[in-house]
């Protein structure tokens, strides 16, 4: 009955790196940011075409989350039919350098034959 773990001080590491990774690492999320960074502002339907396989539900969730996080701007034109455009905010653009470096490492490892371990 000895405790299996050390009780956390509050409830999590509260590590800024962890917090940032938590935001950008949901499924499709990094890919979405990448697509917006590469192709500029896009409408909902265009994003769905640019990210094949994503469902409307998840695409909506991710975009709303990124909006709430201040990384993506959602602009809605109250026309008929409605027109909603998503773009990177200045803060979202700050991630580009990071993504580029990450991409360089990821692609090199890829070329070297590295593969993530299967679950």
Short-list 96, 74, 94, CA closest to 85:
74
Residue 119 C-beta: closest distance to DNA, Å? 5
38 binds, among DNA, its own copies, none (CB under 5 to 8 A by kind): none
Distance in angstroms (rounded) separating the CA atoms of residues 84 and 87: 10
User: Where in 86-105 is the site for its own copies (CB under 8 A)?
Assistant: 91, 94-95, 97-99, 101-103, 105
Q: What are phi and psi of 83, to 5 degrees?
A: -135, 115
Asked whether position 63 contacts DNA by CB under 7 A, the answer is: yes
Residue 43 C-beta: closest distance to its own copies, Å? 15
Asked whether position 113 contacts its own copies by CB under 8 A, the answer is: no
- Note the residues at the interface with DNA (CB under 7 A): 1, 4-5, 26-27, 43-46, 53-58, 60-61, 63-64, 76, 81-85, 119
């Amino acid at each position: 009955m000895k405790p299996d773990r050390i009780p956390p001080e509050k409830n999590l590491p509260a590590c800024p790196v962890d917090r940032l990774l938590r935001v950008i690492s949901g499924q499709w999320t990094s890919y979405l940011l990448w697509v917006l960074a590469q192709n500029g502002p896009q409408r909902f339907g265009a994003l769905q075409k640019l990210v094949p396989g994503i469902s409307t539900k998840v695409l909506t969730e991710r975009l709303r989350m990124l909006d709430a996080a201040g990384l993506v701007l959602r602009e809605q034109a109250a026309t008929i039919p409605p027109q909603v455009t998503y773009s990177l905010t200045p803060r979202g653009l700050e991630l580009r350098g990071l993504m580029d470096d990450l991409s360089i490492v990821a692609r090199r490892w890829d070329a070297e034959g590295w593969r993530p371990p299967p679950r």
